[in-house]
Amino acid sequence: AMLFLDLDRFKNINDSLGHHVGDALLQEVAKRLTNDMRLEDTVSRLGGDEFIMLLSDMGKEPSNAASQTQVKAEQVQRNLSKPYKVLGHDLHITPSIGVALFPSDDDPNEDSNDILRQADTAMYRAKDDGRDAIRFFLPSMQAAADQRLGIEKDLRFALDRQEMSLFFQPQVDREGRIVGAETLLRWLHPEKGYISPADFIPVAEATGLILPIGHWVLEMSCRQIKAWNDQGMPIGHLAVNVSPRQFRQPNFIREIHQIIKQTGADADQLGLELTEGMVIDNIGDTIEKMQALKIMGIELSIDDFGTGYSSLAYLKRLPLDIIKIDQSFVRDIQTDESDAAIVETIISMAHHLGLKVIAEGVETDFEYNFLNQRDCGGYQGYYFSRPVPEKEFTIMLKANKKLPIIEG
C-alpha cells in the first residue's frame, strides 16, 4: 500500500514563524514517520510538506490488506498529531492521508506512478473533507480529480478573459431596507455556464490563484463603492469575503491600503468577512492585522459564526463589528430546539459584547419573525433577495425601500 501524507496548514507556520521553524518541524515529522515504519517499509519526503510511505506485505487478500493499511494509517495520524516543541515554539499539526493499494500480482493493472497519482488524489479528498482525515482511493475520486484539473486549467485564464463578475446580496434591517450587501464572486464559463464557487474556490485556494482573484474582487468592490457614492447612492457597507491564504500574506494590509487609495473608495463603507478558523489560527498575527484594518475604518465581521471554533476567549480579544449567524442554524430554528437556542444565545452574546448581528440564509416568515422578536437587527437571504448583478442591485439601492418578499 502507499500512503500519501500532506501536513495541514503547514504554510501558515512557515509564513508566521519563518522557514527555519518550518524546516525544524519537518525534521521532527520525519523522525516520527521513521519511528513508525517497520523494517520492510519505506518512508520518503516527496517535497515541501509531502511525505510518502510505502507499506510492504500488507496481505494478499484485498479486504484484509485494506484493513491492515487503515490501522497503520491511523497509527501514523495519531503520532503526527501529538504536540511538537520546536525551537521554543509549541506547535500542533495534523496530516491528511491518501491511501492507494497496489493490485495483486496476478492483476498488475497499474504501475507505481499510477499508484502514486491515486494516493495523491485520495489525499486531496481527505483535504476536501475537512483535513486531518484518511481517505482510500476510489475510481470516482479520479473523475473528481480530472474535473478539478479542468477547473484549474480554465481558472488560470478566467480573469484575463473577463469571465468573472460580482453579484451582490442585500443585507437589510428589520424593515427590509438595505443597509449593506455582501459581494459574491460568480464565474460564467463560455462553454460550461456558471460554475459553482463551491467547485472553483477550493481549487483557487489550493493553487494560489485565490491571490490574484481575491485582489480583483477587493479592487472591483472598492470601485463599486466609489461608483455608488458618485451616483448619490452610498451603501452602508459592502462586505467582501477574505480567504485564509489572502489574509496571511505579509503584505495584506498594504494591499488593502493601496486598493482604497487607488480607487478612491471610502474605507468606512468597506467590510471584510473572516472565518472563525482563519482568525483563531495564529491569533497574534490576526489581532495585529485586524487592528490595522480598524484604524483604516474598515468594518470587520466573523462569517458563519458557530460552525468552527467559537472560542469566547479569542472572540473577546478580536476588534470585531459584526457577527454573522450561519444559515445552517437559521434553517432549522423551526424544527430543532438546539439550533433555536444557539441562535438566541449568539444574538444575546453579541449584544452584550456591543456587536451587530446579521443572520444569513433567512428564507421564511417564521425565520424572519423569530429573529426579529429576538432583536437580531440584520438579515440576509432569499426572503428578501437572491444575489443579483450590479445593475439590478443598483436599482434596488436607488429605490432603497422595503424589498418585496420572495415566497418559497
Q: What is the mean pLDDT of each run of 10 residues along the chain (408 residues)?
A: 93 87 94 88 93 88 80 90 91 93 67 87 87 83 72 92 96 91 96 91 87 96 96 94 92 96 96 85 86 96 72 77 92 91 92 93 94 94 95 90 52
Angle CA 103–31–85, to nearest 5: 135
How, if at all, do strands 89-91 and 84-86 pair? Answer: antiparallel
Report d(CA 210, CA 216) in Å as an integer: 10
Contact at 8 Å (CB) between 69 and 1?
Answer: yes
- For 69: left if phi > 0, alpha if psi spans -120 to 50, otherwise beta; the answer is alpha
Cell numbers for 349? 452574546
Contact at 8 Å (CB) between 167 and 219?
Answer: no
Contact at 8 Å (CB) between 122 and 98?
Answer: yes
Instruction: Give the residue among 211, 205, 212 at the shortest CA–CA distance from 148.
Output: 205
Angle CA 57–63–68, to nearest 5: 45
Report d(CA 267, CA 237) in Å as an integer: 9
Which residues, 6+ apart, have CB-to-CB distance to 98 below 8 Å? 3, 4, 5, 118, 119, 120, 121, 122, 123, 124, 125, 126, 135, 136, 137
Which residues, 6+ apart, have CB-to-CB distance to 261 below 8 Å? none
Count Cα neighbours of 104 within 13 Å in the Cβ-side half-sphere: 10
Which residues, 6+ apart, have CB-to-CB distance to 87 below 8 Å? 20, 21, 24
What pLDDT, on the 0 to 100 scale, is given for residue 403? 59
Report d(CA 95, CA 146) in Å as an integer: 23
Q: Which secondary structure element, helix H or strand E, spans residue 200, and what is its range?
A: helix 197-207
- In angstroms, what CA-CA distances link 51 with 2, 25, 44, 120? 10, 13, 6, 11
Instruction: Give the residue among 11, 8, 7 at the shortest CA–CA distance from 248.
Output: 11
What pLDDT, on the 0 to 100 scale, is given for residue 173? 92
